[in-house]
Structure 1
Amino acid sequence: MKLVRTTVATVTVAAAMMAGALTAATPAYAATYGGECGSGYGVVNSAAIGAKGTVFLTYSAATGRNCVVAKRNTAGSPVLIEAGLAIHPVGSHWTAYEGDQFRSYAGPIYLQAAGRCVDWMGRISGTQGGKRGTNCG
């Protein structure tokens, strides 16, 4: 009887370790900024686009321009991806906008906004992320 209990306990521990190893081996895919706006631009803000991707707001102190890129977590077949950027409040139209069927990301889009609050967004297949009235001054 003792041998059976030890074997069952060993199998249980081994199964738990294997499940943990499988979980740890599966990477969590998340969009990362890859310099799409060009040299001199650094990420100053970001927001999740649901579980589909991330929208990045970048800024260049040298030019006083903001840039937005909306990126999918993983590239794939083309889907509708949109990026918008405007001086706060946005009103009825984005000052800078790009939207089309893309495999990976929309943008970069640019706006001169030194010393101003901005509204920015990214949308992937109807799921939106972004922020309003941020990064002032």
Structure 2
Amino acid sequence: MIKKHLATALAATVLAGGFVGLSAGAAHAYPRVNKCGSAYTFKQSWEITDSRTLSAVVGFIDIYYNSGNGYNCAIARGNDAVVTGQHEITVALRRSGGSTWVQDGAGSNYTSYAGPVYTYAKGACVDFVGRLAYNEFSGQGDAGYSYEHCG
């Protein structure tokens, strides 16, 4: 429960700072493909849900880790079963407790994914945020997770 509240506050803070768009996918989504590099191992996907209903999964944030250099990588991708065509997808990543976000996709017009973005976090956790703006006026998915994937 605490993580959920932290994540909500985190997403609101980052998105208010100009973040737009984030995505991910499931069964009918853009397939999870490692765009981080061959040295990066997939860790987990986190859902991006519709910010109005909180039930429709509109995308995912995929997290990868390179144990050789201590870097994490994030990619956001859309769920094509819910969202099709071009849209704004944004992904951001930082070392937990840090102040600098690494981002991709603000103002984008992507069709499948945003990222990869990288941050060093050996022996630490990471925070990540994703957004997918998939309808010109009302369709939007947001997700924020803090103190996840600790490596």
Output the TM-score relative to the length of structure 2. 0.64
Runs (5+) with no aligned partner, structure 1: 1-27
Give runs of aligned pairs for residues 28-47 of structure 1, distance below 5 A: 28-47=27-46
The alignment's C-alpha RMSD in Å is 1.9
Give runs of aligned pairs for residues 1-137 of structure 1, distance below 5 A: 28-50=27-49, 51-74=57-80, 76-89=84-97, 91=99, 94-99=100-105, 100-125=108-133, 126-137=140-151
Distance 2:42 2:31 in 1: 10
Deviation at 1:76, TM superposition (A): 3.9
Deviation at 1:89, TM superposition (A): 2.7
Q: Is the 8 A contact 1:87 1:118 kept in 2?
A: yes
Q: Is the 8 A contact 1:30 1:53 kept in 2?
A: yes
Larger Rg: 1
Compared CA separation, residues 33 and 130, structure 1 to 2 (3 A) = farther
Output the TM-score relative to the length of structure 1. 0.70
Distance 1:31 1:88 in 2: 28
Q: How many matched pairs?
A: 108
Identity %: 31
Q: Is the 8 A contact 1:55 1:130 kept in 2?
A: no
Distance 1:135 1:101 in 2: 29
| Runs of 4+, deviation exceeding 3 Å | none
Runs (5+) with no aligned partner, structure 2: 1-26, 50-56, 134-139
